[in-house]
Amino acid sequence: MSGLTDIIFANTKNYQGVVDERFQDLATQFSRLQDGRIEHGGAALTVYFQGQKVVDIYTGKKSQTEQWNDQTLSVCYSTGKGILATLAHILVSEGLVDYDLPVVNYWPEFGQNGKEKMTLRHILSHQSGLYDIRNIIESAVEMADWQHMLNVMEQATPRFEIGEDIAYQAITFGWLVGGVLEKATGRTLTDSMQTYLVEPLQLDGAYFGVPEHELSRVARLIPKKQSTAPAQAESKKPKSKQKKASFSDKLAEMTGQNPQDFLDAMVPKGMRDFSFFSDQGLQAIIPAANGVFSSNSLAKIYAMMANKGEWDGKVFIRPEIFAELSQIQSIKRDRVMPIPMKWRLGYHRVITMGKRAKKGFGHIGYNGSGAWCDPQRELSFAYTHNFAIGSITGDYRLWGLTQETLRCADRLVKGSKGWF
């Protein structure tokens, strides 16, 4: 059957967990989108509305031998950027770091090669010019060494004048922001995460660098089954044609972007020798790319943000700081991203299939995971999985689940679901 047919005739109850009846349509859609591929992986979806968890469901396989469960953690790629940014805003609110003081005030060694005036605001809004990973390290395995990568950031040279352009810091973002936070607080990034986010919010799984005792909770990629076709038949097959251009490639071409900028930002040399899903990759601290979370942890962090920085009577982010972090910093076209992102301080717009969330923000990951909040609707969302897919603009399942989440909320807030 085709993918569309699989969705139309899918089992609408192929999930476990808890659903508020007001969001049943969303759970049904989740099941439709996952049902036909549960032998190839699993997924989880969590939604908070008006301070209450209304959806917390999962389905499919965690690994070749295990089923997904309510304790499963997932590699979320760039979705973690939004969590790192949230930690930064909490520390700004605590008075430990400032958006607009030069980074060298906290990190003197950073002030090399034209970076003396760079600020945390430049980094959070992708206006630093430090987006190139491909030409500053020789092999991707270097990314597993946190201190080494901080040294690399110290020596890096911006590719454009600071604040004069925008280029998505796809992989460098984590060491840049994380380095500033470590130098400003005198704490390790792991310690700050525990102290300011994990413990106060009582999260059930949120890591940049998974502890060894938690590795068993992480969903792994499930290898595709090898073809059983005879070797002789294989030899008669015509030589494969040039790789078909992806949707992201076509978008980049249409917008006139330089594909080299994309390559330099997204693809370190030697990636064949490194995997984010290996124990080495999971335990490394690479915050822009290897954040590991439960869907509930992601949604709960954004539920606090949907409540404008407060949760359970505690102020995590002061109102004036929240007003600043959620403001669009620039609408200029990004050198790397093929669609308009409307960058805030560490977040981008909510990407949907029609619905608008003007005040909403969050972050998607390369594998199509994603988490966001909409303070106007008092709504937060997180979707995680372990399927072997990739797209810089996300996956249609993420867009569709985001769309239906907003529609279900609008039925309660506005009295009608609507499509736009």
User: Whole-angstrom Cα distance, residue 179 to residue 118?
Assistant: 13
Q: Could you tell me the pTM of the whole model?
A: 0.93
Q: With 0-12 CB in 10 A as exposed, 13-18 as middle and 19+ as buried, what is 121?
A: middle
pLDDT at position 244 is 56
Sorted by where each begins, the domain ranges of the chain are 3-80+206-221+284-413, 82-196
User: Whole-angstrom Cα distance, residue 95 to residue 90?
Assistant: 9
pLDDT at position 251 is 58
Contact (Cβ atoms closer than 8 angstroms) between residue 84 and residue 65: no
Contact (Cβ atoms closer than 8 angstroms) between residue 114 and residue 162: yes
User: Whole-angstrom Cα distance, residue 120 to residue 99?
Assistant: 5
What single-letter DSSP state applies at residue 286? -
Q: Token pair of 328, please?
A: 């669009």
- Reading the chain (420 residues) residue by residue, the pLDDT tens digits are 446 777 878 889 999 999 999 999 999 999 999 999 999 999 999 999 999 999 999 999 999 999 999 999 999 999 999 999 999 999 999 999 999 999 999 999 999 999 999 999 999 999 999 999 999 999 999 999 999 999 999 999 999 999 999 999 999 999 999 999 999 999 999 999 999 999 999 999 999 999 999 999 999 999 887 655 444 444 444 444 455 555 555 655 666 679 999 999 999 999 999 999 999 999 999 999 999 999 999 999 999 999 999 999 999 999 999 999 999 998 888 999 989 999 999 999 999 999 999 999 999 999 999 999 999 999 999 999 999 988 887 789 999 999 999 999 999 999 999 999
**How many residues does this entry show for the chain?**
420
> Which string of DSSP letters, residue by residue, matches 137-148?
-S-GGGGG-HHH
User: Whole-angstrom Cα distance, residue 132 to residue 266?
Assistant: 8
pLDDT at position 263 is 95
What single-letter DSSP state applies at residue 331? -
Domain 82-196, CATH: 3.40.710.10
Ramachandran category for residue 357: left, alpha or beta (phi over 0 → left; psi -120 to 50 → alpha): beta
User: Whole-angstrom Cα distance, residue 83 to residue 197?
Assistant: 9
Contact (Cβ atoms closer than 8 angstroms) between residue 228 and residue 314: no
Could you tell me which residues are beta bridge partners of residue 16?
58
Residue 313 burial (CB count, 10 A): 5
What single-letter DSSP state applies at residue 377? T
H-type alpha helices, 186-294: 189-193, 199-201, 231-236, 247-254, 259-266, 279-283
User: Whole-angstrom Cα distance, residue 186 to residue 180?
Assistant: 10
CATH superfamily, with its number, for domain 3-80+206-221+284-413: DD-peptidase/beta-lactamase superfamily (3.40.710.10)
pLDDT at position 232 is 45
pLDDT at position 22 is 98
